[in-house]
Chain A
Amino acid sequence: MKTTKSGYRRPASLTKAPMHYCAGCGHSTAHKLLAEVLDELEISERTIGVAPVGCAVLAYFYLKCDIAEAAHGRTPAVATGIKRALPDRIVFSYQGDGDLAAIGLAETIHAANRGEQITVVFINNTVYGMTGGQMAPTTLVGQVTATSPSGRESATMGGPLRMCELLNTLDQPYYIERVALDSHAGVLATKKALRTAFQAQVEGRGYSFVEILSACPTYFHRSPLESLKFVGGEMAKQFPVRIFRKEGVALHA
């Protein structure tokens, strides 16, 4: 790692490419934490990531490891194919809420249910960022988006999907945790969760899933700072931050 004058350290697994993410976007922080974990576990040279279709589709510009780009939502199925072909490599998927919980919900559940030895990093920002801030499966009730202009109404649009809770009903997952990138403590907790998840894979323990509550200031229509408050406030109320599954045991059934 290199330390700049400001104290910021760029992990070796992060490229120097300037990120295209909006100011205050959670993807940037999540990428950096992911890169730090790859560094610390010394696995970047045997890791293959699968980028989603979503704002993070260009993750390969930023992460210094092999990366494939999946069709929208098929990300865990692609990760499954890679991991089954190369069982001694570390394989992760990195997905937004549209990719993971809408179009790719079947792939998400079945990869988890088979206990694929992969790590799924789930960026829940309650909206479709890439396509212009439409409603996501995780959009809060009442939240205004491009396709719920009067606010999400559960009677006709359904309520927010709680993915950790849903996956926690399955037998096979080894580790499931939800964290929030809303504060300094949240950043540290996110890093710890990612590290635990990848460590589980390094040890061949099974399927690991980390949901990261993450800001999308652009489509929250809030300032970056207000967005962090939204993540730690309304979002965390709907999506409780906790460990759901540890060492294969459900903690919150």
Chain B
Amino acid sequence: MKGAVTVESKRVLMTGNEAAAEAAIRAGCQCYFGYPITPQNELIAYMAKHMPAHGRVFIQAESELAAISMVFGASLAGARAMTSSSSPGISLKQEGISYLAGCQLPAVIINVQRGGPGLGNIDPAQGDYFQATKGGGHGDYHIIVLAPASVQEMHDMTFQAFDLADQYRIPVMILADGRVGQMMEPIRLQEGPAPIPPAKPWALTGAKGRAPQCIRSLFLEEGALEKHNLALQECYRRIAAADTKLEETHTADCEWLIAAWGTCGRIGKGAVQKARAQGIKAGLIRPLTLWPFPYERLARLGAQVKALLVVEMNCGQMLEDVRLAVNGATPVHFSGYPGGRVPTVSDVFNALTALVRQ
């Protein structure tokens, strides 16, 4: 791993984008297809340099439509495959993500979010929560969505994403933002041999010694699509039961709960610590999986606290899931930063104390 600065014996200084790229290589990603866009350019450049050096496939595709379709091809051939982009490019990838979901193909997709809608700006944002967690493309499907708040998590979640994708035969998205993607932090790299992917008897590798197979999302036979969609939903239920992940800080006795994800979750943690130092019983819930969403845990916490504060770099997207979970048991307030501005610990602390004073 040339170019990285070794900080201590086992820690290296990297950007989140590079950390994700290195994690993919360590997880055994065999094929990467991308198209340049800020703020994820360090990722594609890292892959361009390192994938061929490992004897793996790197293609700069002609568009995000093509890149995700190449991922589709590599995945259906049994390879571990990944693409990365930022918001406008992820919109184009929705076509392929829907086909991946329909064909039950594993894939890893990294979205280093920037401001939107349209071209927006190139600052950090969390405006793609709805798109990532509610389907994004056409049809009745979900993908697993992981939300890193640090360079270390960018690395670890990308590494885990390949196993999750293979285990459930589902696309997994890392929903990061420009802040997490571009900042540098010292991290510990995933060590040891690359995980061994499960056998993929469904993959198209040529029909030697077996009957020909096909991978498709078209089901014209009577009742076939309904059956297929119900099977997908069953898979989603299994994922929700086994792999809903969250981080809690000071929730055991908290009366005021901040709910935030990714970068905002990290800032929210700072605000909780500041509030605790002043005797305010604040706590934080930070979903690590945005889909599946921790509805049950939030429902229980909602019944416990006096009020909730949702903080996001958007106009209120996870807010809707929090409200759904809490279901009116307690007031849910919102602090939003939709234009590329990253809130400070003081911003969130002030919003929280305003609630407490109310």
- A interface, CB within 8 angstroms of B: 44-48, 50-51, 57-58, 60, 63-71, 74, 77-86, 89-90, 106-107, 109-110, 114
Cβ B207 vs Cβ A66 within 8 A: yes
Residues of A within 8 A of B214 (CB): 60, 66-69
B96 on interface, CB distance cutoff 8 Å: yes
Distance of A72 Cα from B205 Cα, bound (Å) = 22
Distance of A44 Cα from B209 Cα, bound (Å) = 11
Of the stretches B62-70, B146-154, B327-335, B337-345, the one at the interface is B62-70
B71 on interface, CB distance cutoff 8 Å: yes
Q: Which residue of A57, A65, A70, A106 is within 8 Å of B206 (Cβ)?
A: A65
Distance of A44 Cα from B103 Cα, bound (Å) = 23
* 19 further A-B pairs in the complex, CB-CB below 8 A; given A66-B214, A71-B99, A106-B63: A45-B206, A45-B208, A48-B206, A50-B73, A66-B206, A67-B204, A67-B215, A68-B216, A69-B103, A70-B99, A74-B65, A74-B72, A74-B96, A77-B67, A84-B59, A84-B74, A85-B30, A106-B65, A114-B59
Residues of A within 8 A of B212 (CB): 60, 63-67
Residues of B within 8 A of A66 (CB): 204-207, 212-214
Distance of A22 Cα from B71 Cα, bound (Å) = 34
Distance of A78 Cα from B76 Cα, bound (Å) = 9
Q: Which residue of A45, A51, A78 is within 8 Å of B207 (Cβ)?
A: A45
Cβ A77 vs Cβ B61 within 8 A: yes
| Between-chain CB contacts (< 8 Å), 16 pairs | A46-B206, A66-B207, A71-B96, A77-B61, A77-B66, A78-B76, A81-B71, A81-B72, A81-B73, A81-B75, A82-B74, A82-B77, A82-B204, A86-B206, A89-B205, A106-B62
Q: Which residue of A45, A60, A65, A90 is within 8 Å of B216 (Cβ)?
A: A60
Cβ B74 vs Cβ A81 within 8 A: yes
Cβ A81 vs Cβ B77 within 8 A: yes
Report the minimum CB–CB distance from B353 to chain A (whole Å). 51
Q: Which residue of B33, B81, B204 is within 8 Å of A68 (Cβ)?
A: B204
Closest 4 pairs (CB-CB, A-B)? A81-B73, A77-B69, A74-B69, A81-B70
CB-nearest residue of chain A to B213: A66
B290 on interface, CB distance cutoff 8 Å: no
Residues of B within 8 A of A114 (CB): 59
B57 on interface, CB distance cutoff 8 Å: yes
Distance of A84 Cα from B215 Cα, bound (Å) = 18
Report the minimum CB–CB distance from B175 to chain A (whole Å). 23
Q: B interface, how many residues as a size bin? A: 35 or more
Residues of B within 8 A of A67 (CB): 204, 212, 214-215
Residues of A within 8 A of B216 (CB): 51, 60, 68-69
Cβ A78 vs Cβ B73 within 8 A: yes
Residues of B within 8 A of A68 (CB): 73, 76, 204, 214-216
Residues of A within 8 A of B213 (CB): 66
Cβ A48 vs Cβ B204 within 8 A: yes
- B interface, CB within 8 angstroms of A: 30-31, 33, 57, 59, 61-63, 65-67, 69-79, 81, 95-96, 99, 103, 204-209, 212-218
Distance of A78 Cα from B96 Cα, bound (Å) = 10
Report the minimum CB–CB distance from B186 to chain A (whole Å). 34
Distance of A80 Cα from B70 Cα, bound (Å) = 6
Cβ B66 vs Cβ A74 within 8 A: yes
Residues of A within 8 A of B79 (CB): 85-86
Cβ B96 vs Cβ A69 within 8 A: no
Distance of A57 Cα from B218 Cα, bound (Å) = 9
Cβ B206 vs Cβ A110 within 8 A: no
Whether A85 touches B207, Cβ cut-off 8 Å, given contacts A77-B65, A77-B73, A79-B73, is no
Distance of A63 Cα from B79 Cα, bound (Å) = 24
Distance of A110 Cα from B31 Cα, bound (Å) = 18
Residues of B within 8 A of A65 (CB): 206-207, 212
Distance of A77 Cα from B35 Cα, bound (Å) = 13
Cβ A85 vs Cβ B206 within 8 A: no
Distance of A84 Cα from B72 Cα, bound (Å) = 12
Cβ B206 vs Cβ A69 within 8 A: no
The winner among B59, B62, B206, B207 for most chain A CB atoms within 10 A is: B206
Cβ B62 vs Cβ A44 within 8 A: no
Report the minimum CB–CB distance from A16 to chain B (whole Å). 13
Cβ B77 vs Cβ A48 within 8 A: yes
Distance of A168 Cα from B57 Cα, bound (Å) = 27
Residues of A within 8 A of B75 (CB): 81
Cβ B73 vs Cβ A80 within 8 A: yes
Q: Which residue of B59, B62, B78, B218 is within 8 Å of A69 (Cβ)?
A: B218
Residues of A within 8 A of B95 (CB): 71, 74
Residues of B within 8 A of A50 (CB): 73
The winner among B72, B78, B99, B218 for most chain A CB atoms within 10 A is: B72
Residues of B within 8 A of A79 (CB): 73
Whether A77 touches B217, Cβ cut-off 8 Å, given contacts A65-B207, A66-B206, A67-B212, is no
Cβ A85 vs Cβ B74 within 8 A: yes
Distance of A47 Cα from B70 Cα, bound (Å) = 17
Residues of A within 8 A of B30 (CB): 85
Cβ A86 vs Cβ B69 within 8 A: no
Distance of A158 Cα from B206 Cα, bound (Å) = 41
Cβ A78 vs Cβ B218 within 8 A: no
Residues of B within 8 A of A69 (CB): 103, 214-218
Cβ B70 vs Cβ A78 within 8 A: yes
Residues of A within 8 A of B69 (CB): 70-71, 74, 77-78, 81, 107
Distance of A64 Cα from B209 Cα, bound (Å) = 13
Distance of A50 Cα from B75 Cα, bound (Å) = 14
Cβ A85 vs Cβ B78 within 8 A: yes
Cβ B207 vs Cβ A110 within 8 A: no
The winner among B71, B74, B81, B96 for most chain A CB atoms within 10 A is: B74
